[in-house]
């Protein structure tokens, strides 16, 4: 609450008294906070930050450079001192009412949108000094030499995380939005914020996982994941859902879609308007979707081979039986696309032609460039994960969620935390954010196989990934394929996906780059007319050349994919109802596995 001039409102005695009363309520909530923190389940400390050797190497390199070139260090320090003194002098001038000399505008940053960051001398000084400090840290990190490329990338990333964490907006005393809200509500916003904080801690056994969406607004199978279908098969790894036909006839060759098991499949069926699952049935296809189990500690020894044998191969076999066909068209999203590639290599070596074509959604098969995950894929973190999973039997969902969130920490951690804990706001009723918070655990064995063999050693794209008595290689993926990637994807960078597709042995390859990111670029219905896509049949050059010579196409890639799929889907046959006499309905879609929550 501000006046028209952006000044803080006047306070009455009655107003202050009510604030004091509310502060006493805060004290009671604080006791509850202490109780929940006392019962916090411990985890491996190595998961909380990089090995200190990284900072030691950086410090050694920095001081060695300073010793050899002291003028450079002095220049940086003098510049920092000068800016700091100027910030203070400007604040002093403003406090005395003197007119402050105009300087360059402060950089645009949505964290500092409140007018008080400009008009109030105190807040302006806090912001200016924070940005001066941030610039000084960035310059210091950039000046460090004698570090290898990975250490330099990690140092830059973790130093930026420290800078973002220390933003004045993250602290009540230096956040004008939160302070105004507290005064306006007589402290009630702080009480509600603390209640939100305690509730989030209690929901996650003392781990701070910021709730991004109002969970009470959604029901799986109620107002999300509502496309009609039936579970027609179930084993310890997955439920196989067959969706009801939406046309009188369908293509003979069915589609079996494998979503990632790091998340829930209903990202592809959030609501009717953007459901890829619903859209596929409306184009005249028999669609099966795998819903993975959300593993607990009893799955500790479950590996990639189990996902392939009891997931991919079993699903393909059951679909063939139900539809009475010899081949299916397979789709794999993210890690399931990676595993589909492993499965295709295995089938190639076995002489099994069950898969007629493969579609990959944002799927990495070549991990030579670890991209934005480089900070987390070095031995200090992976050693910590291995220690954690050996102790717990699984990689708990919140650990993965935290890692992904820190890649976009301002939007997925600090911003939501400020709104929830300092402003006392209820999280929004946003289906995508609800899905984002509904994660899944990973079995211990599978997590280590994936992180060590694929991510770190890049075995599948090089000498081969040993699994199920076979040496699997990406070059053995030889079915007709289409790869859909996303231009701003920070999880599976499109250039890295491109490199993997280049190494595949298929004679028929179609590569597509959709606008937007890992989710929005895939969940991109034609009716929205939102994101376009790039195509280029020439995959011989590097990724930059491919994009430079690519054709931009307006609108979603979905129709283009369907036209490609139609050529590989056979004749029209009468529409198939879910299941058969050997596969009775085990319950309606979306099934039972999808509603199981991850372990905290």
Looking at residue 1, its pLDDT comes to 42
486 is catalytic: no
Looking at residue 146, its pLDDT comes to 76
Looking at residue 484, its pLDDT comes to 98
What band does 498 get if pLDDT is binned at 50, 70 and 90?
A: very high
Looking at residue 16, its pLDDT comes to 74
Q: What are the CA-CA distances from residue 295 to residues 205, 307, 452, 577 (Å)?
A: 18, 12, 20, 30
Instruction: Please tell me which residue, 4 or 323, carries the higher pLDDT value.
Output: 323
For the cut 90, the answer to whether the pLDDT of residue 307 exceeds it is: yes
**3-state percent breakdown (helix, strand, coil) of the chain, nearest 5:** 50, 10, 35
Instruction: Compute the distance between CA of residue 450 and CA of residue 472 in angstroms, rounded to an integer.
Output: 14
User: Residue 592, SS3?
Assistant: coil
As a whole number, mean pLDDT of residues 539-547 equals 96
Looking at residue 106, its pLDDT comes to 64
The percentage of the chain sitting over the pLDDT mark of 90, rounded to a whole number, equals 63
Return phi, psi of residue 267, to 5°: -60, -25
For the cut 60, the answer to whether the pLDDT of residue 553 exceeds it is: yes
Looking at residue 4, its pLDDT comes to 44
For the cut 90, the answer to whether the pLDDT of residue 474 exceeds it is: yes
Looking at residue 408, its pLDDT comes to 85
Instruction: Compute the distance between CA of residue 140 and CA of residue 351 in angstroms, rounded to an integer.
Output: 57
Query: 334, 455, 486, 497: which one is catalytic?
Result: 334
Task: Report how far Cα 136 is from the mean position of its chain's Cα atoms.
Answer: 30
Tell the burial category of 571 from Cβ atoms under 10 Å away from its Cβ (0-12, 13-18, 19+). Answer: exposed
Instruction: Compute the distance between CA of residue 152 and CA of residue 158 in angstroms, rounded to an integer.
Output: 10
For the chain, state the CA radius of gyration: 27
Q: What is the largest CA-CA distance in the chain?
A: 87
Residues 233, 583 contacting (CB under 8 angstroms): yes
Instruction: Compute the distance between CA of residue 369 and CA of residue 455 in angstroms, rounded to an integer.
Output: 9
For the cut 70, the answer to whether the pLDDT of residue 334 exceeds it is: yes
The residues with which 256 forms a beta bridge, in sequence order, are 288, 330
Residue range 213-245, pLDDT digits in tens: 999 999 999 999 999 999 999 999 999 999 999
Instruction: Please tell me which residue, 492 or 68, carries the higher pLDDT value.
Output: 492
What domains are defined for the chain? 40-184 (no CATH), 229-367+472-595 (3.40.50.1820)
CB atoms within 10 A of CB 105: 7
Which H or E element spans position 355? Answer: strand 355-361
Instruction: Please tell me which residue, 59 or 485, carries the higher pLDDT value.
Output: 485
What band does 200 get if pLDDT is binned at 50, 70 and 90?
A: confident
Residues 277, 289 contacting (CB under 8 angstroms): yes
Residues 15, 186 contacting (CB under 8 angstroms): yes
Residues 557, 514 contacting (CB under 8 angstroms): yes
For the cut 80, the answer to whether the pLDDT of residue 87 exceeds it is: no
Tell the burial category of 47 from Cβ atoms under 10 Å away from its Cβ (0-12, 13-18, 19+). Answer: middle
């Amino acid at each position: 609450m501000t006046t028209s001039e952006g000044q803080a409102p006047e306070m009455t005695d009655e107003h202050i008294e009510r604030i004091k009363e509310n502060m006493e309520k805060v004290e009671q909530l604080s006791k509850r906070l202490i109780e929940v923190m006392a019962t916090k389940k411990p985890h491996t400390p190595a998961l909380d930050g990089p090995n200190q050797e990284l900072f030691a190497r950086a410090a050694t390199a920095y001081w060695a450079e300073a010793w050899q070139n002291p003028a450079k260090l002095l220049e940086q320090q003098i510049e920092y001192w000068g800016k700091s003194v100027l910030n203070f002098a400007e604040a002093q001038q403003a406090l005395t009412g003197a007119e402050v000399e105009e300087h360059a505008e402060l950089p645009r940053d949505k964290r500092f949108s409140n007018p008080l960051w400009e008009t109030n001398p105190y807040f302006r000084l806090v912001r200016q000094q924070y940005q001066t400090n941030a610039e000084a840290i960035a310059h210091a990190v950039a000046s460090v030499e004698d570090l290898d490329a990975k250490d330099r990338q990690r140092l830059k990333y973790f130093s930026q995380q420290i800078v973002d964490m220390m933003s004045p907006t993250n602290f009540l005393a230096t956040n004008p939005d939160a302070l105004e809200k507290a005064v306006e509500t007589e402290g009630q916003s702080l009480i509600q914020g603390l209640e939100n904080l305690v509730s989030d801690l209690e929901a996650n056994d003392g781990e701070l996982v910021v709730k991004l969406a109002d969970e009470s607004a959604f029901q799986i199978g109620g107002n999300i994941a509502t496309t009609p279908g039936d579970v027609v098969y179930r084993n310890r790894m997955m439920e196989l859902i067959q969706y009801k036909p939406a046309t009188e006839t369908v293509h003979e060759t069915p589609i079996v879609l494998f979503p990632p098991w790091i998340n829930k499949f209903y990202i592809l069926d959030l609501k009717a308007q953007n459901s890829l699952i619903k859209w596929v049935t409306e184009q005249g296809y028999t669609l099966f979707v795998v819903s993975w189990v959300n593993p607990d500690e009893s799955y500790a020894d479950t590996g990639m081979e189990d996902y392939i044998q009891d997931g991919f191969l079993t699903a393909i076999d059951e679909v063939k039986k139900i539809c009475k066909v010899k081949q299916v068209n397979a789709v794999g999203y993210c890690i399931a696309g990676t595993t589909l590639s492993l499965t295709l290599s295995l089938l190639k070596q076995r002489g099994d032609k069950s898969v007629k074509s493969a579609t990959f959604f944002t799927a990495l098969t070549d991990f030579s460039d670890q991209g934005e995950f480089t900070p987390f894929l070095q031995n200090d973190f992976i050693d910590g994960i291995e220690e954690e999973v050996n102790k717990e039997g699984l990689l708990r969902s919140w650990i993965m969620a935290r890692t992904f969130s820190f890649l976009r920490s301002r939007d997925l951690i600090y911003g939501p935390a400020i709104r929830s804990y300092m402003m006392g706001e209820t999280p929004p009723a946003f289906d995508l954010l609800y899905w984002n918070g509904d994660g899944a655990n990973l079995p211990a064995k599978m997590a280590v196989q994936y992180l060590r063999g694929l991510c770190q050693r890049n075995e599948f794209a090089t000498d081969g990934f040993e699994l199920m008595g076979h040496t699997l290689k990406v070059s053995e993926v030889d079915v007709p394929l289409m790869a859909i990637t996303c231009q701003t994807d920070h999880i599976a960078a499109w250039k890295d996906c491109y490199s993997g597709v280049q190494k595949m042995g298929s004679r028929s390859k179609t590569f597509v780059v959709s606008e937007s990111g890992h989710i929005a670029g895939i969940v991109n219905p034609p009716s929205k007319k939102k994101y376009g896509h790039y195509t280029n049949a020439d995959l011989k050059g590097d990724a930059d050349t491919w994009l430079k010579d690519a054709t931009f196409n307006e609108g979603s890639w979905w129709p283009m994919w369907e036209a490609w799929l139609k050529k590989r889907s056979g004749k029209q046959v009468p529409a198939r109802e879910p299941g058969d006499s050997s596969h009775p309905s085990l319950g309606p879609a979306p099934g039972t596995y999808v509603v199981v929550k991850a372990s905290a």
